[in-house]
Structure 1
Amino acid sequence: MKNIIVFIIIIIIQLNIFAILNIGIALTEPFAYFEETNDGYLLKGIDINIIKLLSKDLDEKINIYIYSFPDLLEKGLNNMDIIIGGIHITEERKKFINFSIPYLTTGLVILKLKGSENINKFAVKRNSTGHITVKKWTEEGKNIDYIVYETNEECLNSLLNKKVDGAFFDLFNAIWISKKYPVEIYGEPLTKNDIGIGVKDRNLLEKINMLIIKYRNDNLIGE
């Protein structure tokens, strides 16, 4: 169900007030993912850690809603107070998303199978920075052959099954994936990108910006 929230996970925290922040996320390693434990499947990742810090420091309960990445960008802030999902800050996205200051800086890279040489066909995730990049290349007259998928998992599977020769990923995603699968980063990062949080309310945005500065100074952001 790509056009609707997949399901809801409610994180209950004992607080002294009754305000609840609705937070939309997209599942993508290492930002947000499920890990099997003795107690069941738990949400973990860079963005989940940030959400927990924000809940504590803002002194508010939170509801987490899981979206597909395209829906998170296009519809998330219609109903959510915050959206987070390893979202690259771009000039186009700034037109409809109020971004926080960056909490991480990353880049766009191409993953290929280890030992492969020629890259003629690409996999990209819909509405991702990689998708924007290949569309720009096409508009510039370059002959780019690519397939658009809805998730990073589909892009990776397409690469592993040799349906494509290369797949576009965020640098953090790519490093994580290359530790688990027979793939490697091709060449240097194509872009340098900041990652931010989308926030509906301006007052809340100011508070989050101050907290991001604190988290970065205290080295609290990361796995």
Structure 2
Amino acid sequence: MKKLLMVLMGMLLLAGCAKAPAKSEDTYDALVKKGEIVVGLDDTFVPMGFRNEKGEIVGLDVDLAKEIFKRIGLTPKFQAIDWSLKESELNAGNIDVIFNGYTITEERKEKVNFSQPYMDNTQIIITLASSSINTKADLAGKVVSVQKDSSAFDAVTADGDVVKNLKNGELVTFDSNLDLFLDLEAGRSDAIVLDEVLARYVLLSKNAADYKILSDNFGAESYGIGFRKGDTTLLKKVNEALQAMIEDGTFETIKKVYIND
């Protein structure tokens, strides 16, 4: 009986391994055969990817993805994911690319391959206009909030002196960037840190005079599209399409719909 149980456990283990996606596998031919590609995104990240009043997923990155994959010959299917699990979703095969204001970092490069950078961004600090906070140093003893597992979290955490001097010596985290504004407006957070691209878009729908953007920030960065390590062909095709869009003006035309520099 003991031997039989060991054999059965071995068979189950092998079966589980067989279902696990191979990170080194190039899936381009399979995607072409299916004619569809699953794009993972945070559907609250305005203006890159979000839901409009009809509940439809729209945004700058959504329009970019539609044009890129049209040129490649694939139909994008947009799938909202838990942003804190984005790399896990990608490497598990639940999505095929991460495409939604996805900041390129050295830590993330260990988990995924990135496309060429296509947009610059800065992690900015926002307070209410009435706040006495004017510099990073003024954050000492204050409540600072960021999105969970975001590039803002990484950027602030990298500045260890700032974090250790915060109230309770830690950042407060939320699932959505939009929750940051709600917490700031309620007076529970003293400052929030998030992508400038998103923040300035949100402020268009608010009374901007009620808020203050500090001159200090937590660094400049660039957005890229994330791929599984094995998807080198897909990465090459996307980079080619993206570069062509930059050169023929299509990229700038799409960008101007959502962002006026």
Q: TM-score range by the shorter chain?
A: 0.7 to 0.9
- Match of 2:55? 41
Matched, 1:132 2:154: yes
2:179 aligned residue (139, 147, 154): 154
- Match of 1:190? 218
Contact 1:26 1:72 in 2 (8 A): no
2:46 aligned residue (14, 26, 29): 29
Contact 1:103 1:221 in 2 (8 A): no
TM-score between the two structures when normalised by the length of structure 2: 0.72
More deviation, 91-100/110-119: 110-119
Q: Which has the higher strand share?
A: 1
Q: 1:211 to 1:188 in 2, by over 3 A?
A: farther
Give the 5 Å matches for 1:3-152: 18-27=34-43, 28-36=45-53, 40-79=54-93, 80-118=95-133, 119=139, 120-138=142-160, 142-145=164-167, 146-152=171-177
Identity %: 21
C-alpha displacement of 1:184: 3.2
Q: 1:141 to 1:52 in 2, by over 3 A?
A: closer
How many residue pairs get aligned? The number is 205
- Match of 1:164? 189
Gaps of 5+ in 2: 1-31, 134-138
Q: 1:53 to 1:74 in 2, by over 3 A?
A: same
Q: 1:18 to 1:136 in 2, by over 3 A?
A: closer
C-alpha displacement of 1:102: 0.8
Query: In the alignment, residue 202 of structure 1 is paired with which amino acid?
Result: T
CA distance in 2, matches of 1:107, 1:176: 14
Q: Which has the higher helix share?
A: 2
Residue aligned with 1:163, SS:
coil
CA distance in 1, matches of 2:218, 2:40: 28
Larger radius of gyration: 2
Residue aligned with 1:62, SS:
strand
Contact 2:125 2:194 in 1 (8 A): yes
CA distance in 2, matches of 1:93, 1:22: 20
CA distance in 1, matches of 2:233, 2:55: 34
Query: In the alignment, residue 22 of structure 1 is paired with which amino acid?
Result: V
Gaps of 5+ in 1: 1-15
TM-score between the two structures when normalised by the length of structure 1: 0.84
Residue aligned with 1:210, SS:
helix
CA distance in 1, matches of 2:116, 2:159: 28
1:15-51 CA-to-partner distances (Å, cap 9, x unmatched) read x974211111112111111112xxx332221111111
- Match of 1:3? none
Q: What's the Cα RMSD here?
A: 2.1
CA distance in 1, matches of 2:212, 2:246: 29
Contact 1:17 1:59 in 2 (8 A): no
